[in-house]
Amino acid sequence: MMIRERIVKAADTLTTGERKLAATILSDYPFSGLSPIHELARHSEVSAPSISRFVTKIGLDGYQEFQRELISELKQGLRSPLDLHAPDRPVEGGFLKDFIAKSTSQMAMAADAITEEQFIRICNLLTDPRRRIYILGGRISDTIAKHLTFHLRLIRKDVYHLPADDEIWPDYLLRMRQGDILYLVDFRRYEARLDRLANQALQTRQARVLLMTDKWISPIAKHAHEVMPVPIDSGTLWDTYSAALAVTEAIVTHIAEHDWDNTRARMEAWETLRLTPRDDPT
């Protein structure tokens, strides 16, 4: 069990001081917990013995084990396909059947990781016509971001996919207004430039950052208004985005069906324009 999950599980048993400590740890997770115990005590305004008791309460033997677990999580978040490859991985019932079974399991886990209440909050933010939506993903995960962008554009106006060239990002940052949405997708081998973009959007434009990430949690989380952790570990050479795609499609489907009259009107207008015959060049 990850440290974050241990803290959440113990939430109802925490004292006021321990809740303050938990908030400090989760605000810059996992990096806040990698500092010396006296520094964490100073930042969270609790004593070092209180931290030791807190660590014991979440099921660990001491602060050293707490930090070892955080370091292990951090390493997991940086693993490449070369690290993930397991040539002797057991396969049950043929490769295709086994792979799809694992993907199905990942989707079920995603439904548990994101509560229905959080799902509805995110859909409501993406539906709000007063908010412009800016979307971007990482080197590979941008495929999920583009999928979301395509469908949201069919449903509502003011949806923008940021280009890969970060030299152009200031143009989009300058367009952002307070309360606009920056939706980022960032899975392990996290991209520092997306973290900087999220920080700029929050600090200079007062945008709301929505983050889809994995269970190891992108550093972007410290800037995010909502964090959606989805499982990606397939036990194979590649991480799987099946659960991320399923969550993305659930979001756009809920938004479209919740306000079907406006969705239908926009889609009909879109189709009319898309199907208009091109001018004959002759």
Tell me the three state secondary structure of residue 140.
Answer: coil
Longest Cα pair distance anywhere in the chain, in angstroms?
83
Q: Token digits for 29?
A: 């997770």
The dihedral region occupied by 94, where left means phi > 0, alpha psi between -120 and 50, and beta the remainder, is left
Instruction: Walk me through the domains of the chain, giving residue ranges and CATH numbers.
Output: 3-77 (1.10.10.10), 95-272 (3.40.50.10490)
Higher-confidence residue: 56 or 275?
56
- Mean local confidence (pLDDT), 128-136: 97
Lowest mean pLDDT across 21-35, 156-170, 268-282: 268-282
Question: What is the pLDDT, as a whole number, of residue 75?
Answer: 72
The closest alpha carbon to 63, from 88, 46, 76, belongs to 46
Lowest mean pLDDT across 60-74, 91-105, 266-280: 91-105
Question: What is the pLDDT, as a whole number, of residue 79?
Answer: 55
The dihedral region occupied by 145, where left means phi > 0, alpha psi between -120 and 50, and beta the remainder, is alpha
pLDDT, tens only, 189-234: 889 999 999 999 999 999 999 999 987 788 898 899 998 888 887 6
Please state, rounded to an integer, the average pLDDT across all residues of the chain.
86
Confidence of residue 85 (pLDDT cuts 50, 70, 90): very low
Confidence of residue 82 (pLDDT cuts 50, 70, 90): very low
Question: What is the pLDDT, as a whole number, of residue 54?
Answer: 93
Q: Residues 25, 58: contact at Cβ < 8 Å?
A: no
Residue at 176: amino acid letter:
M
Higher-confidence residue: 102 or 180?
180
Q: 72 Cβ partners below 8 Å, 6+ apart?
A: none
Lowest mean pLDDT across 15-19, 63-67, 216-220, 273-277: 273-277
- Tell me: pLDDT of 185 over 80: yes
pLDDT, tens only, 2-27: 888 888 888 889 888 888 888 888 76
Lowest mean pLDDT across 134-143, 156-165, 222-231, 244-253: 222-231
Tell me the three state secondary structure of residue 211.
Answer: strand
Q: Token digits for 235?
A: 């036990």
Confidence of residue 262 (pLDDT cuts 50, 70, 90): very high
Lowest mean pLDDT across 7-16, 84-93, 99-108, 177-186: 84-93
Q: Token digits for 136?
A: 């971007």
Higher-confidence residue: 22 or 147?
147
Higher-confidence residue: 5 or 55?
55
Angstrom distance (rounded) from CA 118 to CA 253: 16
Residue at 71: amino acid letter:
I
